[in-house]
Amino acid sequence: MIRAVFVAAALLLLISAPKSLGQTLLPLSATHYATFVSVLTWVLALFLVREINAGLNRWADNKWIWKGDDSNWDWKNEVAIVTGGSNGIGAMVVKKLLSHGIRVAVLDVAPFSDKYQNGNVKYYKCDITSRVQVHEAAETIRSDLGQPSILINNAGIGNANTILEMTPERLRKIFDVNLLSHWITVQEFLPQMILMKKGHIMSTASLAAFVGLAGMTDYACTKAGLMAFHEGLTQELKHRYKCPQIKTSIVYPNWTRTRLTSAIEKDILNSMGSTIMDAKDVADIMVKHIISAKSGQLILGPSIVTIIRALPAWLQEIIRDRMAQIVTVNATTAVA
């Protein structure tokens, strides 16, 4: 928007000023001066089209609601569920939520750090792939903290194996944690949100949803599936449950520095000038979006990734080939 305003101001100055003054400001011949003004006009038009497109995208992502409405949210009385909240991005999300006075329930199989413990956060050891454990934890949360209005499905694991190396047990585990658990948590917490006509469900995906790489096929599949889950959930809330008030968001982080990327960090940094995000920065963006009371998609990386599949096949394959050597280790929980 700033660029469009700057170009518009420059164009207005050149058009409104006497031609003699304009040519003084820009010492060009009459022909070159006219060409410059014409080019500037086209640049402004492109900027305006881009801004209009971005605005329409935000409107669509927000269920055709033009702006966020936080009037129905009292953050000090809201309860958030964060899966996988003991480490990495999840732990940073918990910390950010607490800074807004939101009460937080952490669901994780890993122990929760004592440094974040206070009266507004409670840890529940829970395997989110178990419907029974999730329901038991949910009942305890409702008793301890109140009815949850925010669900952040953040838990995720990764493998670093080729398709032939992948064992059935590890394959089932990554799909259970990264994708199928979303059905369990949403089925547990969404019904009450519908009754309240208020809620926010956020899913943590990855830019891997847009491109499959050697050594992480299983991970990319779960994140692509999560994209479809988010789209379907959004549609059902609008057209089946008539409840567009419930916000739905999906986050696509780029490579993020957590314990999951430690084994391949050097390979990431050596690939096509890739960078690694800090978990704190990812969490900050996620929580700011929650506080904005809007639905949406958060692309945390090169925007070109989202349009890779619209590119010619040869160009898509060049991009994938350039990143094929990032995940070459053989390990579990090696990618984020």
**Number of Cβ atoms within 10 Å of the Cβ of 133:** 17
pLDDT exceeds 60 at position 9: yes
Catalytic: which of 219, 247, 252, 294? 219
**Residue 219 catalytic?**
yes
- Range with the poorest average pLDDT among 23-32, 155-164, 293-302: 23-32
Question: Can you give the residue ranges of every domain in the chain?
Answer: 2-61, 75-332
CA gap 137, 321 in Å, rounded = 44
Phi and psi at 202, nearest 5°, equal: -115, 135
pLDDT at 320: 85
Helix residue spans in 167-272 (DSSP H):
168-175, 181-196, 217-239, 265-269
pLDDT in tens, 252-302: 999 887 766 666 666 666 765 677 889 999 999 999 999 999 999 999 988
Q: 75-332: what fold? A: Rossmann fold (3.40.50)
Sheet containing 200-204, strands listed edge to edge, beginning at the edge strand earlier in sequence: 121-125, 103-108, 79-83, 150-153, 200-204, 247-253, 296-300
Mean pLDDT, residues 243-259 taken together = 90
pLDDT tens-place string over residues 65-107: 766 667 789 999 999 999 999 999 999 999 999 999 999 999 9
Q: What pLDDT, in 10s, does the model give residues 40-68? A: 777 767 877 777 777 777 777 777 776 66
Q: pLDDT band at 336, cuts 50/70/90?
A: very low
* Spatial separation of the C-alpha atoms in residues 326 and 328, rounded to whole Å: 6
Asked about 33 being catalytic, the answer comes back as no
Write down the catalytic residue from 223, 247, 252, 294: 223
Residues 58/229, Cβ–Cβ less than 8 Å: no
